[in-house]
Amino acid sequence: MQRRCSQKARRTLVAVRFELKPPPYSLNALESHMSHEIMEYHWGKHQRGYVENLNRQIVGTELNGMALEDIIVVSHNKGDLPVFNNAAQIWNHEFFWESMKPGGGGKPLGDLLELIEKYFGSFEGFIRENKLAASTQFGSGWACLALPCLACEYFSFFVK
């Protein structure tokens, strides 16, 4: 997350603002899987809105100046759902963009494939469970597979 500091001439309050970070590729780079229109919707509308909302919400608060990840933790722990939602959705969208690339995808190799086969029986079993997770939870139909901790030796799905 890129941030920009600004200070109004007659104020002592320094506002640290989050900026809308563009995806690491053009909005039409994933055309065969995701249209430019959908990319623009998630980046130009969703992510932009979360950034603008969070910037408004943190002005003059203890959250101003914190890293995005710290705002997520603090707002979650305080039960500040509006701030948490905006901060977490900024993080989710940036993670979303970084998780894809033109020409990417397909069946993994090596250690990742071995772990997937160990926990899902097969790559095809993983695909089935991933689709089930994405289609049965509230959200946009998007699911990610995460290995939260190597020592834990388990996978979990989360949906954005």
Residues that constitute the known binding site for Mn(2+): 42, 93
Region from 38-46, 48-56, 62-70, 149-157 binding Fe ion, contact rule CB under 5 A: 38-46
Please say whether the beta carbons of 114 and 41 come within 8 A: no
Q: Which residues pair with 144 in a beta bridge?
A: 158
Structure tokens at 154: 């388990």
Q: Which of residues 113-152 bind Fe ion (CB under 5 A)?
A: none
CB-wise, 49 or 65, nearer to Fe ion? 49
Identity of the residue numbered 14: V
d(C-alpha 11, C-alpha 53), whole Å:
22
Query: Which range binds Fe ion by CB under 5 A, 14-22, 31-39, 46-54, 100-108?
Result: 46-54
The residue within the footprint of Fe ion, chosen from 42, 71, 88, 133 (CB under 5 A), is 42
Q: Of these, 17, 21, 46, 76, which contacts Fe ion (CB under 5 A)?
A: 46
Q: How many residues bind Fe ion (CB under 5 A)?
A: 2
Q: Rounded to an integer, what distance in angstroms lies between the CA atom of residue 56 and that of residue 37?
A: 27
**Alpha helix ranges (H) inside 2-160:** 36-40, 48-58, 68-78, 81-98, 110-120, 123-136
Residue placing its CB nearer to Fe ion in the complex, 42 or 126: 42
- Which residues of the shown chain bind Fe ion in the complex (CB under 5 A)? 42, 46
